[in-house]
Structure 1
Amino acid sequence: MDTREFLKGVEGFRRLADEHIDLLVPLAKVRQVDAGTMIDVQGDPAERFYILVQGRVVVVLATDFGVSRNSYIVTSLGPGEMFAWSGMVGNLKYTAGGEAMTDVTVLEFNVAELEKAFEADPELGYHFMRSVARTVSSRLRHMQLQFVKQAAIRESVE
C-alpha cells in the first residue's frame, strides 16, 4: 500500500502540503485486523489514533448505569474515516470503542508521536487537528440527528 498516496486522498488531509504528508508517512503503521476484533476499547488508555483504509468499523458505546449494562453501535465507518481520536483531543482514555465488522486495514498512529510532530511543525498540527475537529463535529451532528429522530418517533407514538 502506498501510504503517502492514501493520506493525500483522505478528505481531511487533501489540503495538507506534500511536506506535511511526508512527515506523517513514517508515523503511520499499516495494521490488519480480523472481523469481530476490537481495535480500541472504551476505557483503555487512548494512545492510538486510526484512519480506516479498507473494510467497515463500528463505533461502540458501552453504558453502565448500575442496574443495566449495554453496548450500542453509535455509527459505522468506511474507508478514509478517522476513529479513536479521544487521545488527540486530550482524553486519557477512549470514550468509545471501535470494532472491525469486516477484515480491515487501518493506519495506526501513536498519539505521543503525533504530538511531537505537531510541536516540531505547528502548521502540521493545526491542519491535522482541524481535520480531527471536523470529524468530531460531524459525529456530533450525526448523534444530534439520531436523538431528534428518536424523540420524534416517541412523540408520534404517544
Structure 2
Amino acid sequence: MKELLAIIEEQPFFEDMEPAHKRLLAACAAERSYEADTRLMRDHEPAETFWLIRSGQVALESPLREGTVPFQTLGPGEIVGWSWLLPPYRASYDARAVTDIHTLRFDAGVLRDRMEADPAFGYRLMKHFAALIVQRLQAARLQGLDIYQPGGPGHGA
C-alpha cells in the first residue's frame, strides 16, 4: 500500500486532500495495465470503478448510430470515469485505451461506503469529481458543436 500511496501523493488531482484521505484512496486502489483498444467502460453499463492514468492514452467516446465519436483524449495524471459517483452508477460514455496504458484502478463501491462513513472525505472527493464532470461535459458539448455545425465534419462540405 505504501507504493500506491506514493503514487497518489504525487498526483495533482489529489494534491489538496488530507493524508488520511489519501490513505483511504490507496486502500481502494490497485495497479492495472491494459492493451491498446481495450474498452475500460461502455456507455450505460454499470460503473463500479475509476482509473488514474499513469502512462498511455485513453479516448473518451460518445456512442452514435454509426459507431462512436471521440470527444476527448486523456493522458498521464488524468482520471477516467465519474459515473460511479452518482446513481444509477452507469457509465455516461465509452472509454477506450488508445495505446497500452498503466493505471491505478479504484474500487468505487468501497469508496462510496467510505465517503458515507467520512463526510469530510466524501465532500472533498465530490468537489474534485464535480469539477471533472463539468470539464468532461464541456468537452463533449464542444465536440458536438464541431460535429453538428453547418459545414462541420459531419456535414461533408
Shorter-normalised TM range = 0.7 to 0.9
State the match for 1:12 in structure 2: 13
Q: In structure 2, what residue type is equivalent to 1:22? A: R
Change (3 A) 1:150 1:45: closer
Match of 1:73 in 2: 70
- Paired with 2:107 and 2:128, the residues of 1 have a C-alpha distance of 17
Report the secondary structure of 2:22's partner residue: helix
Unaligned residue ranges in structure 2 (runs of 5+): none
Confirm whether residue 86 of structure 1 aligns to residue 89 of structure 2.
no
Letter of the 2:104 counterpart: L
User: Counterparts of 1:101 and 1:49 in 2: how far apart (Å)?
Assistant: 17
> Are 1:41 and 1:94, in contact at CA under 8 Å, matched by a contact in 2?
yes
Question: In the aligned structure 1, how far is the partner of 2:34 from the partner of 2:95?
Answer: 11
Aligned-pair CA distance for 1:150: 5.2
Which sections of structure 1, spanning at least 5 residues, go unmatched? none
- 2:60 is aligned to 59
Aligned to 1:123: 120
How far residue 18 of structure 1 moved from its aligned partner, in angstroms, is 0.8
TM-score by length of 2: 0.85
Identity %: 26
Inter-partner Cα distance in structure 1 for 2:135 and 2:80: 12
Q: Matches of 1:137 and 1:58 in 2, distance apart?
A: 17
Q: Deviations over 1:100-126 (max 9, x none)?
A: 111111111122100111112111111
Contact 1:84 1:97 in 2 (8 A): no
Letter in 1 for 2:29: A
Listed one character per residue, the Cα deviations across residues 71-113 of structure 1 (whole Å, up to 9, x for unaligned) are 1111100111111211212233212111111111111112210
Q: Which SS does the other structure have where 1:128 is aligned?
A: helix
Change (3 A) 1:85 1:71: same
Partners of 2:144 and 2:36 in 1: CA distance: 29
Trace 1:93-112 onto structure 2 (pairs within 5 A). 93-112=90-109
Aligned equivalent of 1:32: 33
CA contact (8 A) 1:50 1:85 kept: no
Q: Which has the higher contact order (CA 8 A, sep 6+)?
A: 1
Equivalent residue pairs, number: 153
